[in-house]
Amino acid sequence: MGYMHEGTWHIGDAGRRETRFVRVPARFRDWIGVSGLYEPGPNRYHLYVSKACPWASRTVIVRKLKKLESVVPMTTLHSDVDNGWAFGSSGDPVNGMNYIYELYRAADSGYSGRATIPVLWDTKTSTIVNNESADIIVMLNDAFDEWADTSIDLYPQALAAEIDSVNESVYQGLNDAVYRAGFSTDQAAYEEAVTTVFQTMEVLEQRLSTRRYLIGERMTLADIRLFTTAIRFDVVYYGHFKCNVRHLWDYPNLWGWLRDMYQAHGISETVDFSQIKQHYYAMQRWLNPSGVVPVGPHIDYLAPHARHSSGQK
């Protein structure tokens, strides 16, 4: 891993060994809209992601569901992050870069902080529009509707307040909490985070007992934001991050919901378990010094889920 300080890239794990892990907010938070500097348009914006990363995977799913593949081109980075997120052998087709941190430096020559993904890049102004996944998935949902599948609306305004509320609780209690548990170097801080994770799992289990999806009978951005953490839970977070009180498959409604989501059109294609395990186990050497990647677990996400309009049947 690494970080940037005043435009210079440094290799190292600084910031990963604090007693309590605190995620640094995204720096680039501009917005694509019908007016202003960043207007929507086909092939103007480029999305940089990795299927190993849960935050980037959110954007991959929304792009897929909205049928934006020909509208917002995407480059998938390598799961190897020894020197930061790296482009594969084909390189960066837009800017000819080798590492994602070079994009950050191109956008801001004095940038300090981590060079994270996803990155939404504007080819017209040659800068980063946004590097916050929560923002990017909202933009992908509606900013490109002139070219997208408008039969799918993952963030309907009538449900926006409820979606935002669920997103916040899931972020604090699960999306980020698994990292607070895994990266903690203090027993009390670790136990606090793990307790939060499983309290949140219980709340979600109850919520999904009366509805098919988190908000009701339709999939929304709330489901996608939970999915990218949930699909990694038994594969990575249970062991690697020591979130091992219970497996996700021990929660019948959550487990059924996860298979329902995985089997939804196009979503399974965005999941690469090999890259996910390689990224966490082989690359996060401060947690797994040997770099050995586990073979298992073998989980059948294609098994029948029996999810219907009134929840689990």
Residue 155: helix, strand or coil by DSSP?
coil
Q: Which of 151, 138, 129, 154 is nearest to 29 (CA)?
A: 129
Residue 92 CB partners (closer than 8 Å, separation 6+):
75, 98, 103
Instruction: Give the whole-angstrom CA distance, residue 42 versus residue 19.
Output: 45
Which residue in the block uniquely carries the two structure tokens 């960043």?
A: 38
Alpha helices by DSSP H, 41-121:
54-65, 100-107
Instruction: Give the whole-angstrom CA distance, residue 216 versus residue 194.
Output: 27
Residue 269: helix, strand or coil by DSSP?
helix
Catalytic residue flag (residue 243): no
Q: Do the Cβ atoms of 261 and 64 come closer than 8 Å?
A: no
Residue 252 CB partners (closer than 8 Å, separation 6+):
205, 312
Residue 50 CB partners (closer than 8 Å, separation 6+):
56, 76, 77, 78, 79, 85, 117, 275, 279
Residue 280 CA: distances (Å) to CA of 4, 100, 108, 191? 21, 18, 29, 21
Q: Do the Cβ atoms of 233 and 243 come closer than 8 Å?
A: yes
Tally Cβ neighbours within 10 Å of residue 246.
15
User: Which residue in 3, 38, 45, 53 is the catalytic one?
Assistant: 53
Q: What's the CA angle centered on 172, arms 168 and 177, to 5 degrees?
A: 150
- For the annotated catalytic residues, the residue numbers are 53, 179
